[in-house]
Each structure stands twice: as C-alpha cells, then as structure tokens.
Amino acid sequence: MITGLIGRKIDQTQFFTEQGKRLVVTRINTGPCYVVQLKTEDKDGYSAIQLGFEVYRKNKDPKSKTGKAKKAGLTETPRFLMEVKGEDAELKLGDKVAVDQVFEVGDKVKITGTTKGKGFAGVVKRWGFKGDSHTHGTKHTERAPGSIGQSATPSRVLKGKKMAGRLGGTQMTVGRLKVVEIDAEHNVLTVAGVVPGPKKGLLKIVK
C-alpha cells in the first residue's frame, strides 16, 4: 500500500469546520504521481515503491531518468522521484496514483520541505536574542551578540555557540498534521497547520 505522495505548496488560508471552528490550513497540489519502479522485499524485509512527479520541459530530461521512465512505460520523464516504504500487489509500472487513493479526511501526515532561505542573519533574527538596552549610553550595539567565549580558559569559542549565520534553506519535517479536505478533481490536499517552504515549494507527504 502506498503511504505517501509528492506535491507542491499552493498557499496558506483558513478553513471552517462543521462546528464553526476556524483553522489555519495549507493547500497542497498533490500528485498525480506515477509508479516508476517497484522494489520487492529483500533479505532485510524492505520493500518500496518509487513514484515520479511532474515532467521535464522539452529536451531537458536526463538520460539517467529517461531509461527508467521507458521501462515503466511512461511517455514523459518524471522530474522528481520519491521512494515510499511498502508494497501493493495491485500496482504495476506506469500506474497513476491520485491523492484520494492514498489519503482520507482525518489522516495524520508528516510533511517534509525546504524552508525559505533568508540569507545571512544576525543573532536577533536567527535565534531571538534580546539585544542590548537602548538607553544608558548604549551605542551601535542594540542588536549585537555580546560576549561569545571565555578569555584564559579555554581561550576559544565553544562549538555550538549561537551566532550570526545563514538562516533557512534547510530541510524540515512537520509531523501530525491532520487532513481536513481532499479535492480529488483538482488534486488538492488540505491539511491543518503550516508546512515549510514558499509557495510552489516541493513537498513530500507521508502518512
């Protein structure tokens, strides 16, 4: 049985339940995905299904993926591939997998994406430091990090010290998000909560 799909973030909006409760939700364009490869159970008991999502623009597809797509009987080469654990005896190479075949309203899912890249950031924005006071002679140090280490012992900055640096642009997973609505006609999955990444960001959704 397939436990996940690939999708793209549409936007973040609001949703009202039957009881009138307002929820912050994220809409995701999920699938359709196509079965590219079936990995049968090995000696360690591992079996998986490799799915493909979207296609390359004309004459842009690499040969490494083109051969795999032809074996699966696909006329176009999938741009993104994802492997999910499990097996399904009914699935065959090249089969189309839609969002309503995998998820149901009420399911709990975990979603992996790449967070928004925000460039080089100071400690106030990156770690939430308070900063120095704005009075009593303070000058040019309102957002400074302050002391970063010891002098004589050990005469170095300890590893893991929170300092200024690159913020965002990293892989992040958010778990236990509830599926509140499925639009099978337009392949849209709506989950309660927020997910990492910008609009049109690539996401991996797994039950």
Q: Which residue has the tokens 């939700």?
A: 25
Domain containing 66 — which CATH number?
3.30.160.810
pLDDT at 89: 77
Q: Are residues 48 and 133 in the same domain?
A: no
Give me the number of domains the chain comprises: 2
Which pLDDT value is given to residue 100?
92
Q: Which of 167, 190, 193, 146 lies closest to 10, judged by CA?
A: 190
Stretches in the chain below the pLDDT threshold 50: none
Is 154 inside any structural domain?
A: no
CA dist 201 and 9 (Å) reads 5
CA angle 1, 176, 20 (to 5 degrees): 110
Do residue 118 and residue 139 come from a single domain? no
- Regarding whether 132 and 64 lie in a shared domain, the answer is no
Same domain? 82 vs 134: no
Q: Are residues 36 and 74 in the same domain?
A: yes
pLDDT at 196: 95
Q: d(Cα 107, Cα 87) in Å, to the nearest integer? A: 19
Whole-number Å distance between alpha carbons of 169 and 55: 24
Best CA proximity match to 204, nearest among 91, 58, 119, 102: 102
pLDDT number for residue 69? 86
Q: Is residue 92 part of a domain?
A: yes
What is the identity of the amino acid at 38? L
pLDDT of residue 174: 97
Pair 98, 55 in one domain: yes
Residue-level pLDDT at 191: 97
pTM given for the model: 0.84
List, for residues 85-116, the tens digit of each pLDDT value. 877 778 889 899 999 999 999 999 999 999 99
Q: Where are the alpha helices (DSSP H) in the chain?
A: 63-71, 99-102, 123-127
Q: Quick check: 3 and 85 in contact, CB under 8 A? A: yes
pLDDT for 200: 95
- Domain span at residue 104 reads 4-123+173-206
* Euclidean distance between CA atoms 32 and 65, whole angstroms: 18
